[in-house]
Amino acid sequence: MHRTRVRIVEDALDANNTIARANREDFDRASVRVVNLMSAPGAGKTTLLEAALGELGAVRAGVLEGDVQGSLDADRIAHLHIPVVQLNTGSGFGGECHLDANMVRSALPALALSELDLLIVENVGNLVCPAEFRIGEDARVMISSVTEGEDKPLKYPLMFRTCELVVINKIDLLPHLDFDVELFRHHLDGVHPGVPTMLVSARTGEGVEGFRSWLREVAAREPVPV
């Protein structure tokens, strides 16, 4: 029984990877680089995008918002006059806790890929499932906010391991918390040795230019085969 269940999960992930490759071919054909932005609920994904995307210079950015229900985040991004599409995962019992490649594929007709250099996919707030599903992205970044505690890399290692950058957000709150940045980095290094981190406050703007530079660098990358 147990073997069968593992097999089903493997098949589902294989099917997802096949669709992720098709997404990636479409992105490459349109010369769009794609960032998968992940975090726990409320870590500051939308706030960071609001702070960063207005001043990307020549990079033409678009956003795909993933939420269980509603369009609150897409409405916030629309204020920046940036192309944005909302994807809801809420059909069925409780809604899906992540975006998968097929959901992203279903949103592609609503996106004018030829008018973009960079597509940022804000995944559903969750520290587990989004890390398991490729969507055809070029880069994965996650946000861990200082209100979540230093232990999160130890408790949710896959998410931290599969990202090429970890943004530590809400550093404006550090004076009010006992969050130990070095202890967090030590735990992170245990699960993903050498992964870069960025200290940011999406609220005050501190460190946001570093995140913008990273986005510009991703937008300028050559595609790497998946």
Ligand X SMILES: Nc1nc2c(ncn2[C@@H]2O[C@H](COP(=O)(O)OP(=O)(O)OP(=O)(O)O)[C@@H](O)[C@H]2O)c(=O)[nH]1
Phi and psi at 214, nearest 5°, equal -65, -40
Q: How far is the C-alpha of 180 from the C-alpha of 128, rounded, in Å?
A: 23
User: Which amino acid, 220?
Assistant: A
Tell me which stretch binds ligand X (CB under 6 A): 24-32, 106-114, 134-142, 200-208: 200-208
Cα torsion angle, 106, 107, 112, 116, sign = negative
* Residues 135-174, mask of contacts with ligand X (x by CB under 6 A): ----------------------------------xx-xx-
* Residues 2-31, mask of contacts with ligand X (x by CB under 6 A): ------------------------------
Contact flag: residue 46 with Mg ion (CB under 5 A): yes
Check if the beta carbon of residue 118 is closer than 8 Å to that of residue 215. Answer: yes
Sheet holding 33-39, edge to edge: 84-88, 61-67, 118-122, 33-39, 139-145, 165-169, 197-199
Q: Minimal CA–CA distance to 220: which of 83, 64, 59, 82?
A: 59
Q: Please state the closest distance from residue 42 (CB atom) to ligand X, in A.
A: 4
- Residue 44: which of Mg ion, ligand X, none does it interact with, CB under 5 to 8 A by kind? ligand X
Among 62, 83, 125, 153, binds ligand X (CB under 6 A): 125
Q: Please state the closest distance from residue 31 (CB atom) to ligand X, in A.
A: 28
By CB under 6 A, the count of residues binding ligand X is: 17
Q: How far apart are the first and last CA of the chain?
A: 33
Can you give the binding site for ligand X, defined by CB under 6 A? 39, 41-47, 73, 125, 169-170, 172-173, 201-203
Can you give the binding site for Mg ion, defined by CB under 5 A? 45-46, 73
